[in-house]
Amino acid sequence: MQYRILGHTGVRVSSLALGAMNFGRIGGTSQEEVTAMVDAALDGGINLVDTADMYSDGESEELVGKAIAGRRDDVVLATKAGMPMGEERNHRGGSRRWLVTELDNSLRRLGVDHVDLYQLHRWDPETGDEETLSALTDLRRAGKIRYFGSSTFPAYRIVQAQWAAREHHLGRYVTEQPSYSILQRGVETHVLPVTEQYGLGVLVWSPLASGWLSGAVREGREVTTNRAKFMPQRFDTTIPANRARLDAVERLAVLADGAGLTMIQLALGFVTAHPAVTSALIGPRTQEHLRTQLAAADTVLPADVLDEIDRIVAPGVDLAAHEKLDTPPSLLDPSRRRRAA
């Protein structure tokens, strides 16, 4: 396992981190299974565990909290807030009212008195940066969080938040958590250069592209990934973007085989090779998933393999741009692009 400094924090974290989205109802995992996976991950050198309040409506946090009991000091513990938690209109977003309340809920579910990294799950366009950063700064001063970060922010919002922190003399985001894989390289254009400019740690999610790069999705095979049960449209190869992904996967499989690598080693070795990336979040659902992903911990791709990946999927290109979750509201809402009559 490789270890890297998380931004400018001085905290050393593993180059693979354990993501807990599949823990609980979403992945159908029990406490016994989660505890076994967490123990195996920590024994394998992983020291960063990342969850969120919304994962299985808080169940993931509860399972993680019980799994790390007795090993809390071995874990850099991260969670997130901001996505809707139920139907109540104020149980979401980046307001002080919600973040203060929901952090207490997360601490209760996790069974801890603080988290090491508290992340805003998505940028909240209805809440000003000063409001959110002020609340997070106060929570840090209260000792309930050690650091705070952002997740899936567009590059311009990362810059704006850094400016707001300086302008209002507040704490700043020290990490960003974007989606990044061989098949989704758009963040290379603006997001990753911006995180490097500001010295942010980067924890990338979905490095296996929702299972496309796990080796389970191949031409002529039935798709068996758990994600396909919930989002079948993402694996429907009659859709042009998915056809392009499958074509790329077939070429990548040949490349991996020629280099003596598994698809998982190729995929994780690719994202951790980027100088802006601190850790890649793996999200195993089973012990076997974890075993095959831990096998990529020390993978270092040679330059010729990285060059061939660039020929298969060009730098900065998203093969499924419609799935991106950081599209600005100005592109999603037509009224923002048209003058009133």
Q: Is 251 inside a domain boundary? A: no
Q: What is the mean pLDDT of the chain?
A: 94
- The pLDDT value recorded for residue 219 is 75
Amino acid, single-letter form, for residue 242: N
- The pLDDT value recorded for residue 226 is 63
Query: At 70, phi and psi to the nearest 5?
Result: 90, -15
Residues 19 and 285: their CA atoms lie apart, in Å, by 10
Question: Of residues 341 and 242, which shows the higher confidence score?
Answer: 242
Residues 19 and 173: their CA atoms lie apart, in Å, by 20
State mean pLDDT over 113-128: 96
- The pLDDT value recorded for residue 228 is 61
Q: Residue 230 pLDDT more than 70?
A: no
Q: Is 178 inside a domain boundary? A: yes
- pTM as predicted: 0.93
Q: Is 335 inside a domain boundary? A: no
pLDDT tens digits, residue range 61-101?
Answer: 999 999 999 999 999 999 999 999 999 999 999 999 999 99
- The secondary structure of 302-323 as a DSSP string is -HHHHHHHHHHS-TT-BTTGGG
Quick one: which H or E segment has residue 4? strand 3-5
- The pLDDT value recorded for residue 314 is 95
Tokens for 271, please give them. 């994202």
pLDDT band at residue 200 under the 50/70/90 scheme: very high
Q: Is 290 inside a domain boundary? A: yes
Lowest-confidence segment of 56-70, 160-174, 230-244 by average pLDDT:
230-244
Q: Is 250 inside a domain boundary? A: no
- The pLDDT value recorded for residue 329 is 73
Domain that holds residue 84: 3-211+268-301
Tokens for 268, please give them. 């994780």
Q: Residue 44 pLDDT more than 70?
A: yes
- Give the residue numbers annotated as catalytic, written as ranges: 55
Residues 153 and 319: their CA atoms lie apart, in Å, by 19
Q: How many domains does the chain have?
A: 1
Q: Is 109 inside a domain boundary? A: yes
CATH assignment of the domain containing 118:
3.20.20.100
Q: Residue 105 pLDDT more than 70?
A: yes
Question: Of residues 328 and 78, which shows the higher confidence score?
Answer: 78
pLDDT band at residue 331 under the 50/70/90 scheme: confident
Q: Is 326 inside a domain boundary? A: no
Tokens for 82, please give them. 């901001």
Map tokens 């698809």 to a residue: 263
Q: Is 60 inside a domain boundary? A: yes
Alpha-carbon distances of 218 from 233, 237, 259, rounded to whole Å: 16, 11, 18
DSSP for residue 93: S
